[in-house]
Structure 1
Amino acid sequence: MDVFEAIKTRRSNGLVRNETVPKELIEEILEAGTWAPSHFRTEPWKFFVLEGNSRMALGEVLVKIAEKTMDDPNSEANIKKREKILEKPFRAPVIITVAVEPNVQSEKVIIQEEYGAVYAAIQNMLLAAHALGLGGFWRTGKPTYDPLMKKLFGLTDKGEVLGFLYFGYPKKEMPSGNRKSISEVTTWLTVKDDFQRL
Protein backbone atom coordinates (compact mmCIF):
# COMPACT_ATOMS: atom_id res chain seq x y z
CA MET A 1 0.00 0.00 0.00
CA ASP A 2 1.34 3.42 -0.97
CA VAL A 3 2.21 5.53 2.08
CA PHE A 4 -0.09 8.39 1.03
CA GLU A 5 -2.95 5.97 0.52
CA ALA A 6 -2.30 4.47 3.96
CA ILE A 7 -2.31 7.91 5.59
CA LYS A 8 -5.55 8.98 3.91
CA THR A 9 -7.48 5.72 4.28
CA ARG A 10 -6.53 4.70 7.83
CA ARG A 11 -9.42 5.03 10.27
CA SER A 12 -9.87 4.21 13.94
CA ASN A 13 -11.80 0.97 13.88
CA GLY A 14 -12.85 -0.83 17.03
CA LEU A 15 -15.12 -3.29 15.24
CA VAL A 16 -12.77 -6.25 14.91
CA ARG A 17 -13.21 -10.01 14.91
CA ASN A 18 -12.14 -12.20 17.82
CA GLU A 19 -9.57 -13.94 15.63
CA THR A 20 -5.92 -14.46 16.50
CA VAL A 21 -3.49 -12.10 14.78
CA PRO A 22 -0.33 -13.96 13.66
CA LYS A 23 2.79 -13.14 15.65
CA GLU A 24 4.58 -12.23 12.42
CA LEU A 25 2.14 -9.39 11.74
CA ILE A 26 2.42 -8.09 15.29
CA GLU A 27 6.20 -8.08 14.95
CA GLU A 28 5.93 -6.09 11.72
CA ILE A 29 3.83 -3.52 13.54
CA LEU A 30 6.32 -3.35 16.40
CA GLU A 31 9.24 -2.94 14.03
CA ALA A 32 7.45 -0.10 12.24
CA GLY A 33 7.26 1.63 15.61
CA THR A 34 10.99 1.33 16.15
CA TRP A 35 11.69 3.23 12.91
CA ALA A 36 10.17 6.44 14.24
CA PRO A 37 12.57 9.39 14.57
CA SER A 38 14.03 10.15 17.99
CA HIS A 39 16.34 13.02 18.86
CA PHE A 40 19.82 11.77 19.81
CA ARG A 41 18.64 8.28 18.81
CA THR A 42 17.37 7.62 22.31
CA GLU A 43 14.61 5.24 21.09
CA PRO A 44 12.55 5.88 24.26
CA TRP A 45 9.65 3.55 23.40
CA LYS A 46 8.59 0.41 25.25
CA PHE A 47 6.01 -2.03 23.88
CA PHE A 48 3.94 -4.60 25.78
CA VAL A 49 1.91 -7.11 23.75
CA LEU A 50 -1.23 -8.34 25.50
CA GLU A 51 -3.01 -11.44 24.23
CA GLY A 52 -5.22 -14.08 25.79
CA ASN A 53 -5.63 -13.94 29.56
CA SER A 54 -2.99 -11.25 29.97
CA ARG A 55 -5.69 -8.77 28.96
CA MET A 56 -7.48 -9.58 32.21
CA ALA A 57 -4.71 -7.87 34.22
CA LEU A 58 -5.32 -4.66 32.28
CA GLY A 59 -9.05 -4.92 32.93
CA GLU A 60 -8.49 -5.40 36.65
CA VAL A 61 -6.29 -2.30 36.86
CA LEU A 62 -8.85 -0.28 34.90
CA VAL A 63 -11.44 -1.35 37.48
CA LYS A 64 -9.19 -0.33 40.39
CA ILE A 65 -8.65 3.07 38.83
CA ALA A 66 -12.39 3.53 38.27
CA GLU A 67 -13.15 2.54 41.87
CA LYS A 68 -11.16 5.56 43.10
CA THR A 69 -13.98 7.83 41.91
CA MET A 70 -16.86 5.65 43.14
CA ASP A 71 -18.65 6.54 46.39
CA ASP A 72 -19.82 2.95 46.74
CA PRO A 73 -18.04 0.49 44.41
CA ASN A 74 -20.46 -2.25 45.51
CA SER A 75 -23.65 -0.47 44.54
CA GLU A 76 -25.70 -2.21 41.87
CA ALA A 77 -24.91 0.45 39.28
CA ASN A 78 -21.19 0.40 40.02
CA ILE A 79 -21.01 -3.40 39.97
CA LYS A 80 -22.39 -3.28 36.43
CA LYS A 81 -19.98 -0.49 35.55
CA ARG A 82 -17.04 -2.50 36.90
CA GLU A 83 -18.08 -5.55 34.89
CA LYS A 84 -18.24 -3.46 31.73
CA ILE A 85 -14.81 -1.94 32.39
CA LEU A 86 -13.35 -5.40 33.02
CA GLU A 87 -14.46 -6.47 29.54
CA LYS A 88 -12.88 -3.51 27.71
CA PRO A 89 -9.51 -5.16 27.01
CA PHE A 90 -11.33 -7.99 25.25
CA ARG A 91 -12.62 -5.75 22.46
CA ALA A 92 -9.71 -6.91 20.31
CA PRO A 93 -7.55 -10.06 20.23
CA VAL A 94 -4.32 -8.13 20.70
CA ILE A 95 -3.43 -4.92 22.51
CA ILE A 96 -0.05 -3.24 22.28
CA THR A 97 0.56 -0.97 25.23
CA VAL A 98 2.98 1.78 24.23
CA ALA A 99 5.01 3.59 26.86
CA VAL A 100 7.81 6.12 27.03
CA GLU A 101 10.92 5.72 29.16
CA PRO A 102 12.72 9.03 28.73
CA ASN A 103 16.50 9.02 28.62
CA VAL A 104 17.47 10.94 31.73
CA GLN A 105 21.20 10.20 31.50
CA SER A 106 21.97 13.07 29.16
CA GLU A 107 21.29 16.75 29.87
CA LYS A 108 20.87 17.26 26.12
CA VAL A 109 17.68 15.21 26.04
CA ILE A 110 14.42 17.18 26.24
CA ILE A 111 11.52 15.27 27.79
CA GLN A 112 8.93 16.64 25.35
CA GLU A 113 11.00 15.27 22.46
CA GLU A 114 11.04 11.81 24.06
CA TYR A 115 7.24 11.86 24.18
CA GLY A 116 7.14 13.14 20.62
CA ALA A 117 9.27 10.22 19.44
CA VAL A 118 6.88 7.71 20.99
CA TYR A 119 3.85 9.43 19.50
CA ALA A 120 5.56 9.17 16.12
CA ALA A 121 6.11 5.45 16.81
CA ILE A 122 2.40 5.06 17.53
CA GLN A 123 1.48 6.64 14.20
CA ASN A 124 3.92 4.33 12.41
CA MET A 125 2.29 1.35 14.08
CA LEU A 126 -1.24 2.42 13.21
CA LEU A 127 -0.27 2.90 9.57
CA ALA A 128 1.58 -0.42 9.45
CA ALA A 129 -1.41 -2.27 10.88
CA HIS A 130 -3.68 -0.65 8.32
CA ALA A 131 -1.33 -1.59 5.48
CA LEU A 132 -1.36 -5.19 6.76
CA GLY A 133 -5.16 -5.33 6.57
CA LEU A 134 -5.85 -4.95 10.28
CA GLY A 135 -8.32 -2.66 11.97
CA GLY A 136 -7.36 -0.84 15.10
CA PHE A 137 -7.58 2.20 17.28
CA TRP A 138 -5.47 4.14 19.75
CA ARG A 139 -7.06 4.33 23.20
CA THR A 140 -6.02 6.85 25.85
CA GLY A 141 -7.87 8.76 28.57
CA LYS A 142 -7.21 9.51 32.24
CA PRO A 143 -6.71 5.89 33.36
CA THR A 144 -3.80 5.64 30.91
CA TYR A 145 -1.74 8.04 33.01
CA ASP A 146 -2.71 6.72 36.45
CA PRO A 147 0.18 5.55 38.71
CA LEU A 148 -1.43 2.11 38.91
CA MET A 149 -1.03 1.75 35.15
CA LYS A 150 2.63 2.69 35.39
CA LYS A 151 3.04 0.07 38.13
CA LEU A 152 1.28 -2.63 36.08
CA PHE A 153 3.83 -2.31 33.29
CA GLY A 154 6.84 -1.91 35.56
CA LEU A 155 7.78 1.57 34.40
CA THR A 156 10.13 3.89 36.23
CA ASP A 157 9.01 7.11 37.90
CA LYS A 158 9.90 8.97 34.69
CA GLY A 159 8.11 6.47 32.46
CA GLU A 160 4.53 6.83 31.27
CA VAL A 161 1.98 4.76 29.38
CA LEU A 162 0.96 6.78 26.31
CA GLY A 163 -1.75 4.58 24.92
CA PHE A 164 -3.20 1.21 24.07
CA LEU A 165 -3.33 0.06 20.44
CA TYR A 166 -6.18 -2.40 19.87
CA PHE A 167 -5.76 -4.54 16.75
CA GLY A 168 -7.71 -7.25 14.96
CA TYR A 169 -9.21 -8.16 11.62
CA PRO A 170 -11.94 -5.63 10.79
CA LYS A 171 -15.58 -6.67 10.69
CA LYS A 172 -16.40 -4.00 8.12
CA GLU A 173 -14.82 -1.26 6.07
CA MET A 174 -14.80 2.20 7.55
CA PRO A 175 -16.22 5.16 5.64
CA SER A 176 -13.87 7.65 4.06
CA GLY A 177 -12.91 10.59 6.22
CA ASN A 178 -12.67 14.35 5.86
CA ARG A 179 -10.05 16.84 6.94
CA LYS A 180 -9.76 20.59 6.82
CA SER A 181 -8.17 22.00 3.70
CA ILE A 182 -4.48 22.71 4.11
CA SER A 183 -5.28 26.33 3.26
CA GLU A 184 -7.25 26.57 6.53
CA VAL A 185 -4.40 25.39 8.72
CA THR A 186 -1.31 26.65 6.90
CA THR A 187 0.40 30.01 6.82
CA TRP A 188 3.13 30.49 4.22
CA LEU A 189 5.97 32.73 5.41
CA THR A 190 8.41 33.78 2.70
CA VAL A 191 9.77 37.10 3.91
CA LYS A 192 10.42 38.60 7.33
CA ASP A 193 7.52 41.05 7.00
CA ASP A 194 5.07 38.14 6.84
CA PHE A 195 5.32 37.85 10.63
CA GLN A 196 3.75 41.28 11.05
CA ARG A 197 0.47 39.87 9.71
CA LEU A 198 0.29 37.04 12.22
Structure 2
Amino acid sequence: MDIFEVIKSRRSNGRVTDEAIPKEIIEQILEAGTWAPSHFRTEPWRFFVLRGEGRKKLGEVLVNIAQQKMEDYLSEGNQKKLEKIAEKPFRAPVIITVAVEPSENPKAISKEEYGAVYSSIQNMLLTAHSLGLAGFWRTGEPTYDPLMKEFFGLSDKGDVLGFLYFGYPKRSLPEGKRKLFSEVTTWIGEDSEEDK
Protein backbone atom coordinates (compact mmCIF):
# COMPACT_ATOMS: atom_id res chain seq x y z
CA MET A 1 0.00 0.00 0.00
CA ASP A 2 1.48 3.39 -0.89
CA ILE A 3 1.50 6.12 1.74
CA PHE A 4 -1.46 8.03 0.26
CA GLU A 5 -3.58 4.87 0.32
CA VAL A 6 -2.52 4.19 3.94
CA ILE A 7 -3.55 7.73 4.93
CA LYS A 8 -6.91 7.58 3.14
CA SER A 9 -7.86 4.07 4.29
CA ARG A 10 -6.92 4.32 7.98
CA ARG A 11 -9.91 4.45 10.35
CA SER A 12 -10.27 4.54 14.12
CA ASN A 13 -11.32 0.98 14.85
CA GLY A 14 -11.79 -0.14 18.44
CA ARG A 15 -13.24 -3.59 17.65
CA VAL A 16 -10.23 -5.90 17.94
CA THR A 17 -9.44 -9.49 18.87
CA ASP A 18 -7.46 -10.61 21.93
CA GLU A 19 -4.74 -12.09 19.72
CA ALA A 20 -1.27 -11.10 20.92
CA ILE A 21 0.73 -8.73 18.74
CA PRO A 22 4.36 -9.82 18.21
CA LYS A 23 6.92 -7.61 19.93
CA GLU A 24 8.66 -6.94 16.60
CA ILE A 25 5.50 -5.33 15.22
CA ILE A 26 5.09 -3.17 18.34
CA GLU A 27 8.70 -2.09 17.96
CA GLN A 28 8.10 -1.09 14.32
CA ILE A 29 5.21 1.11 15.48
CA LEU A 30 7.37 2.68 18.19
CA GLU A 31 10.22 3.34 15.77
CA ALA A 32 7.82 5.05 13.36
CA GLY A 33 6.85 7.35 16.21
CA THR A 34 10.46 8.46 16.64
CA TRP A 35 10.66 9.64 13.02
CA ALA A 36 8.20 12.50 13.46
CA PRO A 37 9.55 16.01 12.95
CA SER A 38 10.55 18.05 16.00
CA HIS A 39 11.98 21.55 16.15
CA PHE A 40 15.63 21.63 17.22
CA ARG A 41 15.55 17.80 17.19
CA THR A 42 14.23 17.75 20.74
CA GLU A 43 12.37 14.44 20.25
CA PRO A 44 9.98 15.18 23.15
CA TRP A 45 7.91 11.96 22.86
CA ARG A 46 7.83 9.25 25.50
CA PHE A 47 6.18 5.85 24.99
CA PHE A 48 4.85 3.34 27.52
CA VAL A 49 3.78 -0.09 26.26
CA LEU A 50 1.08 -1.82 28.30
CA ARG A 51 0.37 -5.51 27.75
CA GLY A 52 -0.99 -8.28 29.95
CA GLU A 53 -1.20 -7.21 33.59
CA GLY A 54 0.25 -3.81 32.72
CA ARG A 55 -3.20 -2.93 31.46
CA LYS A 56 -4.65 -3.76 34.89
CA LYS A 57 -2.43 -1.09 36.46
CA LEU A 58 -3.81 1.49 34.04
CA GLY A 59 -7.32 0.37 34.97
CA GLU A 60 -6.54 0.99 38.64
CA VAL A 61 -5.41 4.55 37.88
CA LEU A 62 -8.57 5.19 35.87
CA VAL A 63 -10.64 3.93 38.82
CA ASN A 64 -8.76 6.19 41.27
CA ILE A 65 -9.37 9.20 39.04
CA ALA A 66 -13.08 8.37 38.68
CA GLN A 67 -13.50 7.86 42.43
CA GLN A 68 -12.33 11.41 43.10
CA LYS A 69 -15.31 12.77 41.17
CA MET A 70 -17.91 10.55 42.86
CA GLU A 71 -19.88 11.65 45.90
CA ASP A 72 -20.16 8.09 47.22
CA TYR A 73 -17.93 5.74 45.26
CA LEU A 74 -18.92 2.83 47.53
CA SER A 75 -22.56 2.91 46.41
CA GLU A 76 -23.73 -0.08 44.39
CA GLY A 77 -24.28 1.98 41.25
CA ASN A 78 -20.87 3.62 41.43
CA GLN A 79 -19.15 0.30 42.14
CA LYS A 80 -20.62 -1.07 38.89
CA LYS A 81 -19.38 2.01 37.03
CA LEU A 82 -15.92 1.56 38.50
CA GLU A 83 -15.83 -2.10 37.47
CA LYS A 84 -16.53 -1.05 33.87
CA ILE A 85 -13.83 1.62 34.05
CA ALA A 86 -11.29 -0.92 35.36
CA GLU A 87 -11.99 -3.11 32.31
CA LYS A 88 -11.45 -0.37 29.71
CA PRO A 89 -7.75 -1.10 29.17
CA PHE A 90 -8.61 -4.70 28.27
CA ARG A 91 -10.38 -3.61 25.06
CA ALA A 92 -7.15 -4.29 23.15
CA PRO A 93 -4.12 -6.53 23.68
CA VAL A 94 -1.67 -3.60 23.45
CA ILE A 95 -1.89 0.00 24.58
CA ILE A 96 0.86 2.48 23.83
CA THR A 97 0.59 5.50 26.07
CA VAL A 98 2.13 8.52 24.39
CA ALA A 99 3.38 11.45 26.44
CA VAL A 100 5.28 14.68 25.91
CA GLU A 101 8.29 15.77 27.94
CA PRO A 102 9.07 19.28 26.68
CA SER A 103 12.76 19.98 26.13
CA GLU A 104 14.89 22.22 28.33
CA ASN A 105 16.20 23.82 25.13
CA PRO A 106 15.44 27.55 25.58
CA LYS A 107 14.67 27.84 21.85
CA ALA A 108 11.99 25.13 22.00
CA ILE A 109 8.40 26.40 22.07
CA SER A 110 6.01 24.35 24.20
CA LYS A 111 3.23 24.24 21.56
CA GLU A 112 5.72 22.92 19.03
CA GLU A 113 6.81 20.18 21.42
CA TYR A 114 3.19 19.05 21.68
CA GLY A 115 2.83 19.29 17.91
CA ALA A 116 5.83 16.99 17.46
CA VAL A 117 4.25 14.35 19.69
CA TYR A 118 0.91 14.59 17.88
CA SER A 119 2.84 14.00 14.64
CA SER A 120 4.47 11.01 16.29
CA ILE A 121 1.03 9.61 17.15
CA GLN A 122 -0.07 9.92 13.52
CA ASN A 123 3.08 8.10 12.36
CA MET A 124 2.27 5.27 14.76
CA LEU A 125 -1.37 5.00 13.72
CA LEU A 126 -0.47 4.91 10.03
CA THR A 127 2.27 2.33 10.57
CA ALA A 128 -0.03 0.08 12.59
CA HIS A 129 -2.64 0.29 9.83
CA SER A 130 -0.07 -0.56 7.16
CA LEU A 131 0.88 -3.65 9.22
CA GLY A 132 -2.73 -4.89 9.29
CA LEU A 133 -3.64 -3.70 12.78
CA ALA A 134 -6.66 -1.72 13.91
CA GLY A 135 -5.96 1.28 16.09
CA PHE A 136 -7.84 3.78 18.20
CA TRP A 137 -6.47 6.99 19.74
CA ARG A 138 -8.28 7.42 23.05
CA THR A 139 -8.17 10.52 25.24
CA GLY A 140 -10.65 12.23 27.60
CA GLU A 141 -10.37 14.04 30.92
CA PRO A 142 -8.62 11.21 32.84
CA THR A 143 -5.77 11.37 30.30
CA TYR A 144 -4.73 14.76 31.61
CA ASP A 145 -5.29 14.10 35.33
CA PRO A 146 -2.30 14.61 37.67
CA LEU A 147 -2.65 10.98 38.83
CA MET A 148 -2.05 9.81 35.26
CA LYS A 149 1.04 11.96 34.99
CA GLU A 150 2.26 10.56 38.30
CA PHE A 151 1.59 6.94 37.25
CA PHE A 152 3.81 7.33 34.17
CA GLY A 153 6.52 9.18 36.10
CA LEU A 154 6.33 12.37 34.07
CA SER A 155 7.83 15.67 35.13
CA ASP A 156 5.73 18.70 36.09
CA LYS A 157 6.01 19.90 32.48
CA GLY A 158 5.16 16.50 30.97
CA ASP A 159 1.71 15.36 29.90
CA VAL A 160 0.04 12.20 28.68
CA LEU A 161 -1.44 12.98 25.24
CA GLY A 162 -3.29 9.77 24.52
CA PHE A 163 -3.60 6.02 24.60
CA LEU A 164 -3.18 4.11 21.34
CA TYR A 165 -5.16 0.87 21.50
CA PHE A 166 -3.93 -1.72 18.97
CA GLY A 167 -5.14 -5.17 17.95
CA TYR A 168 -6.11 -7.27 14.98
CA PRO A 169 -9.42 -6.01 13.57
CA LYS A 170 -12.68 -7.90 14.11
CA ARG A 171 -14.32 -6.00 11.25
CA SER A 172 -13.49 -3.80 8.31
CA LEU A 173 -14.88 -0.30 8.23
CA PRO A 174 -16.54 1.53 5.35
CA GLU A 175 -14.62 3.99 3.25
CA GLY A 176 -14.20 7.33 4.97
CA LYS A 177 -15.32 10.74 3.81
CA ARG A 178 -13.66 14.12 4.11
CA LYS A 179 -14.41 17.59 2.84
CA LEU A 180 -12.71 18.39 -0.43
CA PHE A 181 -9.40 20.09 0.26
CA SER A 182 -10.62 22.97 -1.89
CA GLU A 183 -13.27 23.76 0.74
CA VAL A 184 -10.65 24.38 3.42
CA THR A 185 -7.83 25.82 1.32
CA THR A 186 -7.01 29.41 0.43
CA TRP A 187 -4.38 30.03 -2.23
CA ILE A 188 -2.39 33.21 -1.60
CA GLY A 189 -0.38 34.68 -4.46
CA GLU A 190 -0.56 34.62 -8.22
CA ASP A 191 -0.87 31.50 -10.36
CA SER A 192 2.41 30.37 -11.86
CA GLU A 193 2.83 29.42 -15.51
CA GLU A 194 2.78 25.71 -14.48
CA ASP A 195 -0.73 26.11 -12.99
CA LYS A 196 -2.23 27.44 -16.23
Alignment correspondent of 1:96:
96
4+ long deviations beyond 2 Å: none
- Let me know the Cα RMSD of the aligned residues: 0.7
Separation (CA, whole Å) in 2 of partners of 1:148 and 1:34? 26
Separation in structure 1 between the aligned mates of residue 77 and residue 21 of structure 2, nearest angstrom = 35
Q: Report the Cα distance in structure 2 between the residues aligned to 1:44 and 1:78, rounded to whole angstroms.
A: 38
Q: Which residue of 1 aligns with 2:129?
A: 130
Name the SS for the 1:124 alignment partner: helix
- In 2: Cα distance, 1:185 partner to 1:118 partner: 24
Question: 2: distance between equivalents of 1:43 and 1:100?
Answer: 9
Which runs of no fewer than 5 residues in structure 2 stay unpaired? 191-196
Gaps of 5+ in 1: 192-198
TM-score (normalizing by structure 2): 0.96
What letter is aligned with 1:30?
L
Residue 103 of structure 1: how far off its partner (Å): 0.4
- For the pair 1:38 / 2:38, whether they are aligned, the reply is yes
Amino acid at match of 1:45: W
Q: Could you state the TM-score of these two structures normalised by the residue count of structure 1?
A: 0.95
Name the CA distance, whole Å, in 1 between partners of 2:177 and 2:39. 32
- Give identity over the alignment, percent: 72
2:70 paired with 1:70: yes
Residue 169 of structure 2 aligns to a residue whose secondary structure is coil
Amino acid at match of 2:126: L
Q: Quote the Cα distance in structure 2 between the aligned partners of 1:183 and 1:36.
A: 26
Please report how far the alpha carbon of residue 107 of structure 1 lies from its aligned counterpart in structure 2 after TM superposition: 1.4
State the Cα distance separating 1:10 from its structure 2 match: 0.1
Matched residues in 1 for 2:46 and 2:106: separation? 21
| Alignment correspondent of 2:51 | 51
Cα deviation per residue 1:83-106 (whole Å; 9 max; x = unaligned)? 0000000000000000000002x2
Matched residue SS, 2:47: strand
Distance apart, 1:109 and its partner CA:
0.7
Aligned to 2:181: 182
Q: Which residue identity does 1:62 align to in structure 2? A: L
Show the counterpart of 2:156.
157
Letter in 1 for 2:20: T
